[in-house]
Amino acid sequence: MLVSINPGGPNGGSATQYFTGNFDGRSFTPDVNDEKWLDWGTDNYAGVTWSGIPQTDGRRLFLGWMSNWNYATVVPTVTWRSAMTIPRELSLLHENGNYILISKPVSELKILRNNSEKLIRGNKEFSGELDISPDSIKLTRCEAIIEFDLAGTNTDTCGIILENTDGERFVAGYSVKERNIYVDRTRSGNSSFSERFSGIAEAPYKAGQKISMHLFIDASSAELFVDDGRLVMTSLFFPACDFSKLKLFSKGGAATLGKAEIYELASIWK
C-alpha cells in the first residue's frame, strides 16, 4: 500500500510511504510498523501505477511527480513547473523475514541509449577526486552506472560528483562509517527561491562488499538507484550552467572503482 504524505517526508515536505501486509478487500493489516519510503529523496511524490498491464507482461509500473510542496510553486523554471520521474518497475523482495520494495528503471529506457558511451572496467584504486568525464557525452542527458568495491578498502565516504565551470556541484555519496546514502545539493546552483530547498538528504543504508550507484541525469534532476533499486533518491537542482564534469570521490582513505558505464540518452523533447 502506497501513502503519499505532505508534510512528513524523511527529508522534509512531500514523500510517499509504503506498507506491506494483507488486504481482505475491506481492511489492510500491515505486517510491520517500520517506516518505509518508496523514495528517500526530496522530489518524488503522489505517484501512480499503470492499470491494464497485460498479464503476459505482469509488471507493476510507477511514475511519480518530481517535486515537493515545500517549494513546488516557486522553483525557477519556465514553460512548466516540475516534471515526472522516469517510469519504474516495482517489486517485492522477501529478505530476513521482511518485505522490501524494489524500484528499478524500466528496461525500455535502454532504447534511449545512443552510440556515445564510456566504459571503465577493472579495479582502479583512488583517493580524493577522480575525473572520469566523458569527452563526447552530454551530462545534461545521460545515464551513469558506477560500482565501488568496498571490501578491503579503507574509505570512509565515496560517491559521485556532477560539477560545472562555475564550481557548482551535485553530490551523491555513501558513508561507510554512518551507514547512509546521502545527496548534497547545498552547492548545486540556485536555491534562493526557498530556504527549504538547499541541504543534504539522507537515507539509512548498509552496503555489502560492493555498492552500485545508478544515476539518470537530466538538465535539472538526478534519479539515484542504489544496488538495483533497493534504495532510491530523486532530487532536483538548478545550476547556473550545465554540469560538464563527472567525478568520483573517496574521503578518509582509498576506494576501489569496480566499473563505470556512462551513456548519453536521446531526447524525448521535440
Contact 207, 174 (CB under 8 A): yes
pLDDT at 48 over 70: yes
Cell triple for 256: 576501489
Per-domain residue ranges of the chain: 2-105, 109-265
40: closest CA among 237, 250, 223, 239? 223
Q: What pLDDT is attached to residue 114?
A: 87
Average pLDDT over residues 250-265: 95
pLDDT at 47 over 90: yes
pLDDT at 33 over 80: no
How many CB atoms are closer than 10 A to CB 239?
23
Q: What is the dihedral of CA 32, 202, 41, 117, to 10 degrees?
A: -120
CATH class of segment(s) 109-265: mainly beta
pLDDT at 78 over 90: no
**Helix, strand or coil, per DSSP, at residue 257:** strand
Q: What pLDDT is attached to residue 223?
A: 98
Of the CA atoms within 13 Å of residue 19, those in its CB half-sphere come to 13
**pTM for the structure as a whole:** 0.96
pLDDT at 82 over 70: yes
Contact 85, 234 (CB under 8 A): yes
